[in-house]
Amino acid sequence: MLTEVCYLLERQRGSGAEALFLRALATEELHLVAVTTADLSRMAELVTTYADLPLGAVDASVLAVAERLDDLDVATLDRRHFTILRPSRGRVLTLHPAI
């Protein structure tokens, strides 16, 4: 998923934004989180539920991990999918940057 984020940042915001993101990871301002087997099961559920979008593994993994960590603040440039997704237990995503 790291490469997907880098690709989107570079494409939509330029190489400077991509470099800032990588530096934030290198300095541990941001942390990479591994996907678990439970996350994979949840991702499969989400891909099935949102098949009409269609929802892919990258976006499904973001929601699955956010639910597991109980941190529904999501940084995304993909508002099209994330404004539609509904976390489990009636919770709500907070998307960043806020528009």
How is residue 96 written in tokens? 């960043």
How many Å apart are CA 40 and CA 19, to the nearest integer? Answer: 29
List pLDDT tens digits, range 45-59: 999 999 999 999 999
List pLDDT tens digits, range 58-79: 999 999 999 999 999 998 878 8
Cis amide leading into 97 (omega within 30) = yes
How many Å apart are CA 30 and CA 76, to the nearest integer? Answer: 14
Single pTM value for the model: 0.84
How many Å apart are CA 75 and CA 60, to the nearest integer? Answer: 14
Are 99 and 79 a contacting pair, CB within 8 Å? yes
